[in-house]
Amino acid sequence: MLKHRGFPGRLPSSDFQFTIRRPNPKGATPITRRERYRDRRAPDRKADTAFMAALWFQFGAEPFERGNLDAGRLSWLFGREVLPYDDPFDPVSYEAMLIIDEDAARAAFPDIFDNPEDWA
Domain ranges of the chain: 50-118
CA–CA gap between residue 85 and residue 25 (Å, rounded): 25
Report pLDDT digits (tens) over 19-67. 888 888 887 889 999 988 888 898 888 999 999 999 999 998 999 999 8
Cβ(100)–Cβ(81) under 8 Å?
yes
Tell me what pLDDT residue 32 has: 92
Provide the whole-model pTM.
0.89
User: Which residue in 2, 4, 103, 119 sits closest to 52, CA to CA?
Assistant: 119
Q: Which residues pair with 69 in a beta bridge?
A: 19
CA–CA gap between residue 2 and residue 23 (Å, rounded): 10
CA–CA gap between residue 59 and residue 65 (Å, rounded): 10
Q: Is the pLDDT of residue 68 over 70?
A: yes
Report pLDDT digits (tens) over 69-87. 999 999 999 999 999 998 8
